[in-house]
Structure 1
Amino acid sequence: MLTGSFWDFLLWIFWFYILFACIWIFITIIFDLFRDHSLNGWGKALWVIFLIVVPFLAALIYLIARGKGMTERELERRGQAQSEANRYIRSVAGTSSPASEIESAKKLLDSGAITQAEYDSLKAKALAG
């Protein structure tokens, strides 16, 4: 009895994996369809209908016919996301030059937030590098 239930459990895990993989593939294809700017609305609609009517055949044909384009669109999307992240990081980090650091320290000194000794220390650190 224990052996039968073990194999039933393994079979259940296998079918769950297959179901999960199929859902993942269908979602990936649908996302790719709507990200593709070269395909018109009718083409997208026909692919979606094809995926609904004969899902496994449609997915197989889509991956064979448009797989290279899927990769190119994904690489382009990742490149754009990386460049946007780099641009944001540069804008937040800013470029800190010794002159801007000394200017900031001078403003703090003028406002009374720091003493002359602290200003001299900040100025020396900025000039040192």
Structure 2
Amino acid sequence: MPQIPLAADYPFLNILWSMLVFVGFVFWIWLAITVFMDVFRRHDIGGFTKALWIIFVIFLPLLGVLIYLIVYHNSMADRNVKQVQAAQAAFDQQVREAAGKSGPATEIATAKSLLDAGAITQAEYDDLKSKALAAQA
């Protein structure tokens, strides 16, 4: 009957080494995916150049990723910053639209601008103001 190895037969340093190799592998996959994403996100190169970079990274992964990171590290950072700023601007715009659609302060300000423009009378303004304040409570 074959003997089953116990967990105690696997030395602690081998466990640490296995963990380090696993973390390094995950980091490597993350780095390669980041390079692929950056290649496809670029608008300053054509499809043929993108295909060459992808082939280079697939067939010579270590060399391809390292060369890409060395050559394009600044532009990668710029593209990331632009993407984050665009996402933040879109989020801010959506929040402004959602927050600005209603509310007593907005309704009163709109009514005041109509009053100042002469589109409504003082009585209509007071009525709109009281309705806006009543809706708040």
TM range (shorter): 0.7 to 0.9
TM-superposition CA deviations, 1:69-99 (whole Å, max 9, x none): 1000000000100110111000000062425
Q: Which residue of 2 aligns with 1:59?
A: 65
Unaligned runs of 5+ in 1: 107-118
Distance 1:63 1:53, change over 3 A: same
TM-superposition CA deviations, 1:50-71 (whole Å, max 9, x none): 0011100111100000110100
One-letter amino acid matched to 1:42: F
Residues 17-96 of structure 1: pairs in structure 2 closer than 5 A = 17-94=23-100, 96=106
Structure 1 runs (4+) deviating above 6 angstroms are none
Q: CA deviation at 1:7?
A: 1.2
Residues 103-114 of structure 1: pairs in structure 2 closer than 5 A = 103=128, 106=131
CA distance in 2, matches of 1:92, 1:10: 51
CA distance in 1, matches of 2:130, 2:61: 66
Q: Which residue of 2 aligns with 1:98?
A: 108
Q: CA deviation at 1:105?
A: 6.2
Q: Work out the percentage of aligned pairs sharing the same amino acid.
A: 32
One-letter amino acid matched to 1:122: A
Contact 2:39 2:50 in 1 (8 A): yes
TM-score, L = length of structure 1 = 0.75
Q: CA deviation at 1:100?
A: 5.4
Q: Which residue of 2 aligns with 1:122?
A: 134
Q: CA deviation at 1:39?
A: 1.1
Q: Which residue of 2 aligns with 1:110?
A: none
One-letter amino acid matched to 2:20: F
CA RMSD of aligned residues (A): 2.8
